[in-house]
Structure 1
Amino acid sequence: MNDASGEIEGSRLQKAVEAIVIAPEAATKLVDGYRATFEDKYKREPESLEDKRRIAAKIIGRYSKISAAAGAVTAAPGVIPGIGTAVAVVSGGVADTAAALKLQVDMCMCLVEVFEADLSDEDKKHLAFVLALAGSAEQMAAKGGKAVMKIAEKLVYQYLRGPALVTIKQLFKRVSITFTQKAMAKAIPAGVGVAFSSSTNYVLTRMVGRVAVAVLAKDVK
């Protein structure tokens, strides 16, 4: 894929994902439910880093299972609210990618709420997109493992230093190029699938969640 086509595909993918991702206030409501469950179980508010990690683990588990259930876009409308909107914007492999990324951004939006609840809605959204896209791009390009985790973390920090709109546009382009290259070469690395099947969806979502928590937990005082 050349640079121009990568720009176009990235733009189409961005439009599709942004049309269906969860709103920050909806993520807050969802996380409040997890906090309430935690308080009922432990009889205290989840204030420590370890408490937040426990809630984060529940969120990652939830979205990984939803991602696995979604599978291909043909099975997604009943599982992912709003996916019909994405299919109307794009089709084929890009729609598959949009469905997977929607769940990863939603998950990261909730994780940001867990660790950085005081951020503005706009900052939460920007951070969630960077965490999901950078983590996903790096995992798609490699075979996973601790080394890739560290590279993905560095990629997140690198993109967080850039202008928000430019950063997100660049990351969508990167994800789109990586996806297309893998599809063309049919070189699917262990644990990461191009067709976003049940098992590969699950693994990729969990890996993105782990990267997000690794980044966010370091910022908690």
Structure 2
Amino acid sequence: MSHTGNETEIEGTRLQKAVERIAITPRAAAELVDGYRASFKAKAGRKPGSPEDRRRVADKVIARYSRLAAATGAVTAAPSVIPGVGTAVAVLAGGGADTAVALKLQIDMCMCLVEVYETDLSDEDKKHLAFVLALAGSVEQMASKGGKAAVMKIAEKLVYQYLTGPALVTIKQLFKRVSITFTQKATAKAVPAGVGVVFSSSTNYVLTTMVGKVAVAVLAKEVK
């Protein structure tokens, strides 16, 4: 393996460790989702359980994390908004911390979405599924070119394919890919579909929303 390959491996591993330290737990995700379910139950007078009900809860989750992502366009302003940001900044410098915070929010969101659609899984399986959904959905959209609709369709199919592989190996490989792709995009100052500058407020919002929609399509078995 080349020296560059070694460096990439190390960066991917450091990023993975940092994100795993600050990501939400399945139990915390379940509590957040239960709050949304209770809110809908109170309004509708019934327990949410239909596909439409799950979609409403999922939309709330995506909206919440997209707003939080928009608030973290600059990591230095984020510690008071997002728990764990201080840890990311301490472990990783500069763009690495930006990437870790962006991924944390996408993983937290996907952890909640997994809770909406896959409540019977073990906590470990929920965690693995959330990590693959967030990492694969994000990196595929960052790496792809074309319009938003086309990028999302490609991402949905590729995320679904990632889920057929061994979880721990897939997650390690995805962190490596994320480290490479996000660094390249940050250097280029742009992401696909004319979204804008990497890790700006608007980019974080749009990318997180798209990752959430891809995750819902996969979890709701809507991928064609």
Same fold (TM > 0.5): yes
Of 10, 13, 27 in structure 1, the residue corresponding to residue 29 of structure 2 is: 27
Q: Choose from 83, 89, 108 the match for 2:91.
A: 89
1:73-84 alignment runs, 5 A limit: 73-84=75-86
Secondary structure at the aligned position of 2:7 is classed as helix
Contact kept in structure 2, 1:140 and 1:192, CA below 8 Å: no
3-state DSSP class of the match of 1:218? coil
After superposition, what is the alpha-carbon deviation per residue over 1:100-120, rounded to whole angstroms, capped at 9, x for unaligned? 100000000000000011110
d(CA) in 2 for partners of 1:198, 1:57: 20
**In the alignment, is the contact (CA less than 8 A) between 1:193 and 1:201 conserved in 2?**
no
- Deviates further, 13-22 or 210-219: 210-219
Query: AA paired with 2:221?
Result: K
Matches within 5 A, 1:51-200: 51-143=53-145, 144-189=147-192, 190-191=194-195, 193-194=197-198, 196-200=199-203
2:123 is aligned with what amino acid? D
| Alpha-carbon distance between aligned partners in 2 of 1:160 and 1:192, rounded to the nearest angstrom | 29
- Secondary structure class of the residue paired with 1:169: helix
> Displacement, 1:188?
3.7
Mapped partners of 2:155, 2:119: distance in 1: 23
Match status 1:207 vs 2:210: yes
Please give the TM-score of this superposition, normalised by the length of structure 1.
0.94
Q: After TM superposition, where is structure 1 displaced by more than 4 Å over at least 4 residues in a row?
A: none
Paired residue for 1:42? 44
**2:214 partner amino acid:** V
**CA contact 2:79–2:86 (8 Å) conserved in 1:** yes
Q: State whether residues 64 and 205 of structure 1, in contact with CA within 8 Å, keep that contact through their aligned partners in structure 2.
A: yes
Q: Deviations over 1:86-135 (max 9, x none)?
A: 11111110100100100000000000000011110000000000000001
Q: What secondary structure is seen at the aligned counterpart in 2 of 1:161?
A: coil
Kept in 2, the 8 Å contact 1:192–1:201? The answer is no
Gaps of 5+ in 2: none
- How many percent of aligned residue pairs carry the same amino acid? 76
TM-score, length-scaled by structure 2 = 0.93
- 1:192 shift after superposition: 5.3
- Whether the aligned pair in 1 keeps the contact of 2:41 and 2:48 (CA below 8 Å) is yes
CA contact (8 A) 1:15 1:89 kept: no
Q: Which amino acid aligns with 2:174?
A: L
Paired with 2:140 and 2:169, the residues of 1 have a C-alpha distance of: 18
Which deviates more from structure 2 when the two are superposed, residues 150-159 or residues 167-176? 150-159
Contact 2:19 2:103 in 1 (8 A): yes
Structure 2 letter corresponding to 1:191: V
- Matched positions, count: 218
Equivalent-residue separation in structure 2 for 1:81 and 1:44 (angstroms): 33
Cα distance in 2 between the residues matched to 1:114 and 1:22: 15
Question: In 1, distance between residues paired with 2:56 and 2:185?
Answer: 34
Q: Greater CA deviation, 3-12 or 34-43? A: 3-12
Gaps of 5+ in 1: none
CA displacement 1:179-204 (0-9 Å, x = unmatched): 1112233344312532x111111000
